[in-house]
Structure 1
């Protein structure tokens, strides 16, 4: 049995102010997208992208992540609370972000980016998909450092006690997600996208990969106390991930048949 290290959530103290680890994880995610995007352009001359496009892409993507992530949490997880406390929607420093909301936010932001640059939306999404998992993994590491989103009770040798929660040994589900949604998904998508693929195939693989990994890890993750387990014994995270997998499979089949055209 392991003990959570109880790391100070503030990475750097500057007088009365502090820079939080979670904020640094967001910064790592945004910077990784910028660097990996430019690296991909340099290594793939056939791509009709300029390095300056990635700078604009980051701006639109960051807006989508932050606005979509917050609104997604409000709508999917605690709508009644925020309906009674609408001003607290703006209190981002109190926490409360949803991946699925951020995902929808990015989809919307990429529509505006595609229109601005004259690119096809699916072409943009195929370019973005391999750049995202490192940021997802960084976010899960931020959850682990904060000792939040812990797992369900477990008797596995690597089960971990989170002293700020209770004395029960639990799955370190944040680390499972860091490994699967971050490292494994990045490796699969980066390698797959190195060769020319049918339009929409890389985006479809992202949907299948993330949705499947998140669905599986949710079996080890403690459901949100204010929601619990929902219909069919599934958590909110599973209900939101299942459509991603189904749409991803459909998209992958269509892409292989070149129904979306060519990149």
Structure 2
């Protein structure tokens, strides 16, 4: 068993002002995405300047934060937030939904693309390889908060989390998700998007890969207490929400290459 590193969730405390690691992870994710986007923007939109790129990152970040929070409220714990609406503002306590954030990013991309001469999928293909930076940083934030831990196990890398009332040795599922949703997903999308791909293909690869990774990790991650297991006692809400992503991802990749082949044949 590995010892859990006792990290104070508060990174900086200046009197009453407290800056949490979880919030800093969002800044790292947004800053990393902006930096990577700035290195790729010339090939995507040569006419875009730094201000245009910053505007895009800002609106996508708003989609992540607002969509992620609203998604968690609606998908995971609606009753608790109805009982105490002020909890919605306490983002540093956790409670963000990837699937809600993903919907927020899609809406922000549609809105921004429509006003800047880019189709929805053109912009989503550009944004998709940037997303794993924020996903990976967010999972490190979950680990520091000692939240979203996994099931009990006797594996040598199991950890006892201070927030676990049972004090059992558990899967560090946050680190599994960091490795898959952060590192592996970034590598897949980075290398896949290095070559020209038909529109929709990169978006499809993102949806498919993330959906598969999330579905797998959910088998060793403890579901949210207020929901428990669904569909006969074995599926989690995370898996239920990931299935449509997998199917849509497969469909987008198939349609992208099928349309490219049809267009080539027509010539």
Residue in structure 1 matched with residue 257 of structure 2 by the alignment: 256
Residue in structure 1 matched with residue 243 of structure 2 by the alignment: 242
**Cα distance, 1:216 vs structure 2:** 0.2
TM-aligned CA distance change 1:70 to 1:261, over 3 Å: farther
The answer (yes or no) to whether the contact 1:33–1:132 under 8 Å persists in 2 is: yes
**In angstroms, what is the RMSD of aligned CA positions?**
1.8
Structure-1 separation of matches of 2:77 and 2:226: 8
Structure-1 separation of matches of 2:73 and 2:106: 18
Counting only pairs closer than 5 Å after superposition, residues 1-263 of structure 1 correspond to structure 2 as 1-42=1-42, 45=43, 47-48=45-46, 50-52=48-50, 53-165=52-164, 166-232=166-232, 233-258=234-259
SS in 2 for 1:61: helix
With the length of structure 1 as denominator, give the TM-score of the two structures: 0.94
Unaligned stretches of 5+ residues in structure 2: none
The answer (yes or no) to whether the contact 2:60–2:108 under 8 Å persists in 1 is: yes
**Cα distance, 1:197 vs structure 2:** 0.3
**Cα distance, 1:94 vs structure 2:** 3.9
Say which is worse superposed, 143-152 or 88-97, in terms of deviation. 88-97
The answer (yes or no) to whether the contact 2:20–2:92 under 8 Å persists in 1 is: no
**Cα distance, 1:141 vs structure 2:** 0.3
TM-aligned CA distance change 1:122 to 1:4, over 3 Å: same
Structure-2 separation of matches of 1:73 and 1:5: 27
**Cα distance, 1:82 vs structure 2:** 2.3
Structure-1 separation of matches of 2:67 and 2:254: 28
**Cα distance, 1:50 vs structure 2:** 2.1
Say which is worse superposed, 109-118 or 157-166, in terms of deviation. 157-166
The answer (yes or no) to whether the contact 1:28–1:138 under 8 Å persists in 2 is: yes
With the length of structure 2 as denominator, give the TM-score of the two structures: 0.92
**Cα distance, 1:40 vs structure 2:** 1.4
The answer (yes or no) to whether the contact 2:23–2:92 under 8 Å persists in 1 is: no
TM-aligned CA distance change 1:189 to 1:151, over 3 Å: same
Unaligned stretches of 5+ residues in structure 1: none
Q: How many residue pairs are counted as aligned between the two chains?
A: 260
